[in-house]
Each structure stands twice: as C-alpha cells, then as structure tokens.
Amino acid sequence: MSYFDFMLNDNARAVADEAREMVKNEIDPEYIKAMDRDEVKFPKKIYETYAKHNLLGVRFPKKYGGRGLNWVSSIAAQAEIGCLGTSCGCAFVMPDIVGEALFHFGTEEQKQKFLKPMLQGKLVSAEALTEPRGGSDFFGATSKAEDKGDHFLVNGQKRFVVGAEGADFFLVYVRTNFEPDSDPYQRISTLIIERSPGVEVSYLYGLMGTRGGGTGRLTFRDVQVPKENLVGPLHGGALVFHRMMVPERLCSAAPVIGGMRSVLEIAARYSDKRVAFGQTIRKFQAVNSMLAQGVTLLDASAAMVFQAALAADADHPKLRRIVSETKKFVTDANWEVANIAMQIMGGIGYTDVYPIERAVRDARLCQIWTGTNQIMDQLIQHEYYKEVLGDTNKYRDIEKDAMSADMKHEKIFDDEEMWKAHEETPKK
Ligand SMILES: Cc1cc2nc3c(=O)[nH]c(=O)nc-3n(C[C@H](O)[C@H](O)[C@H](O)COP(=O)(O)OP(=O)(O)OC[C@H]3O[C@@H](n4cnc5c(N)ncnc54)[C@H](O)[C@@H]3O)c2cc1C
C-alpha cells in the first residue's frame, strides 16, 4: 500500500506500487552505503534502474518518454523513492525539474535531443543556478553568456550542483543582458550546456549528508554554446525560472515523505522491543508522545504534498504560495521527525548501526536547498498579501460584526489620520 493510497486514483496507485517494489527489491544496500562513504560519485546504476521501469518524469507525455500521467502520480512515486535518501531522491526528480523547462519552453529539437533521452535514462541532467556569490539572490547571477553571432561564449562559475558528476548536460542560468540599468528580471537567459571542453566539473567533498549524489562545482571557461541551446526567450530566464520553481519545490517535499515514514517505522519497531525500567519504552508517555508528534507531522506533510500536487495539476493561481508552503512545512517537519526518531532510539540512534543518523544529516539540507526556508517565507507572505489585498470583496466582511465597528476615529493607522480624527472629534 502506498503512503497516499486512499487519495490516489488507479493510475497513480499503480505507479506508486511499482516504485515501491523496485525500491524494495532492486536497490542494493551496499550501493547506498558506498554512496554515503563517497565511494560512488553519482548513482548512475540507480538512475538506470528508475529508467528501466519508465518511472522518470511519469507526468510528461509518452512521446517524450514519460507515461502521460500527472503530478499526483509523480508525487506518489517520489514518496516511495524518498526512503533511499536525498541523493537518490534527487536523481529521481531531476528529470522532472529540468524537464519542466524543456517541455514548456524548449523547441521540438531540444525535446527530442534532451528531454526524451533524459526520461529514457540515456542522458543525465543537472541544473545550475547557485553561484559562489550566492544562491538566494538568484537574479544577481554573474556567470555570463556573450552573444558571438552563431553562438554564446560562456564564462563563470556555479556551485553546489547536484548530479554534476554524472550529468551529460546542464541547464544553466547566465546573464545575457549587460545593460547597466536593465531590469534584473530581464537580464538572465537559460541555456543547455553539454559536458564539453571548457566545462570543468569538480566534485565537492565533505558534505554532511546527501553524499554520492554528484554535487559539484562547475567552471565555464570560454565555452561555446550554440544558439539553438537557448531555452525560452533571450533574457527571458525569469519566465523559465518561475516555472521551474514549481517542480523544484514540490519535488523537494514529496520524496521527504518516504524518508519520514521509514525513520518513524524504525523508531516505532525499536520502541516496541526496547525495555527500560522493566517495560518496553513505548509504554512511556514521553516516548509515545514523541512518536505521535512524528506521525502527525508525517500525515500533515503528506496532505500538503498531495494538495500541492492537485494545485500543480490544475495550474491553480495559488500554486506558487502552496508549493512554497509545502516545501517549507514538509522539510521543517522532516527535520523534526528525523530528530524524534533519533531521540526515541537513544544512543544507538546516533550511531551508524541504524540509518537514522544519515536521515538527520540528509534532512538538514532539505531546509537549505531549492530556496532556503527563509526564502520560502518571503514568497509565501508576498503571494498572500497579493491575494488578500487584491480581493477584499469575496467573503463576508466580519469587521462589521464588531460591537464598535463604526468608531472610525479609533481606526487610526498613521499620524495624519490621528490628527484628522482629532480635528473631527466633536468637543464635549
Ligand atoms: C548539497 C547541496 C546541493 C545543492 N544542489 C543544488 C543544485 O543542484 N543546483 C543549484 O543551483 N543549487 C544547488 N544548491 C544550492 C542551494 O540551493 C543554495 O545553497 C541555497 O539556495 C542558498 O544559497 P547560498 O548557499 O548561496 O546561501 P545565501 O543565499 O548566501 O543565504 C545565506 C543565508 O541568508 C538567508 N537569506 C538570503 N537572502 C535572504 C532574504 N532575501 N530573506 C531572508 N533570508 C535571506 C538565507 O536564508 C540563508 O540563511 C545545493 C546546495 C547544497 C548544499
């Protein structure tokens, strides 16, 4: 039974079942351990296993290698894959993220050359947004592509690119508009840059978690990129970026469900066996309350992911707020749940006898990548103000239900209004 089981239609349930069986039977634990030891630099073998089952980017049309399903089916599969950890989860969702840009903005040639082979597992992609100078300030990117007639000449650096080690091509955001006073939203373009001379990839060692996922630094030195590799309009990278941020954030949240589920199950089984003071620790209210908190967070997170998938399928106007909230809530919940699992297990949870410590290390990143949770706050409040201030007539105005609602001289918002009310208040 999939985690979302009762919420899914038959198609989505079938995809989730297939993903669950694959994860259960076909992924070698020794490979997962080798990844955490940094002996595997990119989980190519696992990526190929996903592709063998045609599970990459199931929401894209069949003619491009997908299954013609929807977001709900996609998140149902992601939630099954997530128990493998953030590196394997990321390899699974990257075609959804890069595919969003190629599918919505790419030319037919780009779809045939990059999207289709990527969904078939023949090509590996990575996305390069973050620069050493900063990730949150995306529109300040300084990596540049100069127009040289039939090609762009690309120079610059990107860092923290997951999958860089394994990628055959990169979706890269670069500055193309060099007008000093240009609008930051009209400065950036999106390019497909194939692994080629001039594209240097250096593997980034020393990550706290998410190891073996191929996270690296990219350096571009006089890389010649053909004009036909421009994705979307010239200087129109903002359009592509905003579209890509939906899968980026939804796919940061959905796999986490599988991670949360599996650590809670380990902690629950442990607490059912472990004895202290003559009884199993699950009998202690302090322990079972922690578990209850964890399970509640897991179910709330699953509901949010499902809601966000429905909003994405409907391309709902509140989608941007909903995916940002989902990314923030679910990744914060994941951090709490991983720590709850560790706490329930006591000292042994802190060792590598159980995979809880790895889950804690992985969980921490989820609050940082794909836009930090502070950036999610910025988006959420921005979208909410826009909604609320833009439509004041939709619901009953309960301000009028207050006993003294008509005391206008008490509804003062600034100095000017205060003095105006002062003048207008009748003298006694
Ligand atoms: C293992 C790993 C994998 C990653 N994978 C990828 C990848 O595949 N592709 C990619 O492009 N990037 C990737 N990233 C980069 C990641 O998305 C960035 O690290 C993240 O967006 C934050 O950028 P930064 O590290 O430059 O921090 P900064 O932008 O310097 O932020 C530092 C702090 O300031 C806060 N801050 C900044 N601006 C604001 C603001 N306006 N309001 C409130 N707070 C603010 C941030 O929340 C944060 O706490 C990855 C990172 C890691 C560690």
CATH code of the domain containing 369? 1.20.140.10
pLDDT of residue 196: 93
**Has residue 33 been placed in a domain?**
yes
**Has residue 135 been placed in a domain?**
yes
Q: Are residues 295 and 384 in the same domain?
A: yes
Name the residue with the closest Cα to ligand 1, atom 52: 160
Q: Are residues 114 and 134 in the same domain?
A: no
Cα 129 to averaged position of ligand 1 atoms, centre (Å):
10
Q: Are residues 358 and 225 in the same domain?
A: no
Name the residue with the closest Cα to ligand 1, atom 22: 135
pLDDT of residue 425: 78
Cα 77 to averaged position of ligand 1 atoms, centre (Å):
27
Q: What is the pTM of this model?
A: 0.96
Atom of ligand 1 nearest to the CA of 372: 47
**Has residue 424 been placed in a domain?**
no
Cα 132 to averaged position of ligand 1 atoms, centre (Å):
10
The helix or strand, by DSSP H or E, that contains position 220, with its residue range, turns out to be: strand 216-226
Cα 276 to averaged position of ligand 1 atoms, centre (Å):
43
Cα 213 to averaged position of ligand 1 atoms, centre (Å):
17
Any idea which residue has 């006089």 for tokens?
A: 222
CATH of the domain at 198: 2.40.110.10
Q: Are residues 259 and 365 in the same domain?
A: yes
Name the residue with the closest Cα to ligand 1, atom 34: 136
Q: Are residues 140 and 110 in the same domain?
A: no
> Candidates 143, 160, 204: which one to mutate for ligand 1, based on the most atoms within 8 Å of Cβ?
160
Q: Are residues 245 and 373 in the same domain?
A: yes
**Has residue 354 been placed in a domain?**
yes
Interatomic CA distance for residues 420 and 424, integer angstroms: 6
Cα 245 to averaged position of ligand 1 atoms, centre (Å):
14
Name the residue with the closest Cα to ligand 1, atom 35: 374
Cα 369 to averaged position of ligand 1 atoms, centre (Å):
6
**Has residue 283 been placed in a domain?**
yes
Q: Are residues 251 and 300 in the same domain?
A: yes
pLDDT of residue 242: 96
CB 184 within 8 A of CB 151: no
Q: Are residues 251 and 368 in the same domain?
A: yes
* Structural domains of the chain, count: 3
Using CB distances shorter than 6 Å, the residues near ligand 1 are 126-130, 134-136, 160-162, 207, 210, 215, 365, 368-372, 374-375, 378
**Has residue 160 been placed in a domain?**
yes
pLDDT of residue 148: 97
Cα 135 to averaged position of ligand 1 atoms, centre (Å):
4
Atom of ligand 1 nearest to the CA of 128: 11
Q: Are residues 84 and 214 in the same domain?
A: no
pLDDT of residue 1: 58
Task: Identify the domain boundary among 123, 141, 174.
Answer: 123
Name the residue with the closest Cα to ligand 1, atom 38: 136
Residue 94: domain span: 5-123
Cα 248 to averaged position of ligand 1 atoms, centre (Å):
13
- Half-sphere exposure (CA, 13 Å, Cβ side) for 325? 21
CB 143 within 8 A of CB 164: no
Q: Can you state the percent helix, strand and coil of the chain, rounding each to 5?
A: 55, 15, 30
**Has residue 27 been placed in a domain?**
yes
Q: Which of 240, 259, 251, 246 is nearest to 364 (CA)?
A: 259
Name the residue with the closest Cα to ligand 1, atom 14: 160
Task: Identify the domain boundary among 123, 140, 159.
Answer: 123
pLDDT digit of tens for each residue in the chain (428 aa)? 567 788 899 999 999 999 999 999 999 999 999 999 999 999 999 999 999 999 999 999 999 999 999 999 999 999 999 999 999 999 999 999 999 999 999 999 999 999 999 999 999 999 999 999 999 999 999 999 999 999 999 999 999 999 999 999 999 999 999 999 999 999 999 999 999 999 999 987 799 999 999 999 999 999 999 999 999 999 999 999 999 999 999 999 999 999 999 999 999 999 999 999 999 999 999 999 999 999 999 999 999 999 999 999 999 999 999 999 999 999 999 999 999 999 999 999 999 999 999 999 999 999 999 999 999 999 999 999 999 998 777 889 999 999 999 998 889 999 998 888 888 877 77
Taking CA 370 as the corner, what is the angle to CA 368 and CA 376, rounded to the nearest 5 degrees? 75
pLDDT of residue 259: 98
Q: Are residues 335 and 251 in the same domain?
A: yes
